[in-house]
Amino acid sequence: MELHWLGERNLTVAFHEPFYTTIHLSLGDHRVYVCDTFLGPDSMIDIARIIKENGHQDKPIVVFNSHADWDHVWGNCYFEGAMILGHRECKARMIAEWVEEIKKNYESQRGAVILTPPTTVFDTNYLFEDDGIEFFHTPGHTIDSSSCYDHRERILFVGDNIESNAPYVNSLDFDTYISTLEDYLIRDWTHIVPGHDPVQTDDTLIRSNLDYLKLLREWKVDM
């Protein structure tokens, strides 16, 4: 596990096993925001410890699910009573796919995983104005994919929407995915945080993913 501070209140926690995965934390003035929860409640013990070590243990926690894929939501159940925030389709997918995903990936659980879908959903965006933290729908990797933006420190968490060496595509709606990545390019950010890659400080990975998607749209990529 690696911890990287991106500013005074933003940090990433990177797990290396069974595959590289990033959990992002924003330590707001009023709340703590946990972006994605990895493989189960046991993997969130370290996250809770980090929150406590930085003196934020008494603040309400908002858990954000960037999308419903199992490796991003299984730790939700650790945060009993917390607001769990996600796109409306994220909640629907999580409930619909839960049993099958548990069966297929049972051995990857870290602790006893319990279905804990979003308690609060949005369609377009959800803004915590007092903390300057915004969550917004950015369909691409999946239909429910969403992102988090810290307006104060200009940190953008994008989940699985960008990835090396190429984005994982779940839909033939390439235009929507391309539009999402083009929107990332015009946003004012200093760091961009992918779900399965190290933190990015330039737009190289976004542009390479865009090039791939545009070729894929024209069926010019070997699958």
In what helix (H) or strand (E) does residue 156 lie, and over which residues does it extend? strand 155-159
Q: How far is CA 49 from CA 10, 44, 67, in A?
A: 16, 9, 25
120: left (phi over 0), alpha (psi -120 to 50) or beta: beta
Domain-located, residue 102: yes
Q: Is residue 17 part of a domain?
A: yes
Q: How far apart are CA 221 and CA 212, in angstroms?
A: 8
Q: How many whole angstroms separate alpha carbon 118 and alpha carbon 108?
A: 22
Domain membership flag for residue 131: yes
Helix, strand or coil, per DSSP, at residue 154: coil
Q: Does any domain span residue 141?
A: yes
Tokens of 56: 């934020």
* Number of neighbours of residue 101 by Cβ within 10 angstroms: 20
Identify whether 136 is part of a domain: yes
- Domain extent for 191: 2-217
Q: What does R_g of the chain's alpha carbons equal in angstroms?
A: 16
User: Does 170 map to a domain?
Assistant: yes
Contact 47, 13 (CB under 8 A): yes
Q: Does residue 223 form part of some domain? A: no
The closest alpha carbon to 11, from 32, 22, 33, 26, belongs to 26
pTM: 0.96
pLDDT at residue 221, as a whole number: 60
- CATH code of the domain containing 96: 3.60.15.10
Task: Give 75-104 as a 3 state SS string.
Answer: CHHHCCCCEEEEEHHHHHHHHHHHHHHHHH
Residue 194: asked if its preceding bond is cis (omega within 30°), the reply is no
Q: How many structural domains does the chain have?
A: 1
Reported as half-sphere exposure (CB side, CA atoms, 13 A), residue 150 has a value of 27
**pLDDT per position in the chain (223 positions), as tens?**
999 999 999 999 999 999 999 999 999 999 999 999 999 999 999 999 999 999 999 999 999 999 999 999 999 999 999 999 999 999 999 999 999 999 999 999 999 999 999 999 999 999 999 999 999 999 999 999 999 999 999 999 999 999 999 999 998 899 999 999 999 999 999 999 999 999 999 999 999 999 999 999 988 665 5
- Asked, for residue 222, whether it belongs to a domain, the answer is no
Q: Write out the two tokens for 95.
A: 């409930």
DSSP state of 200: B
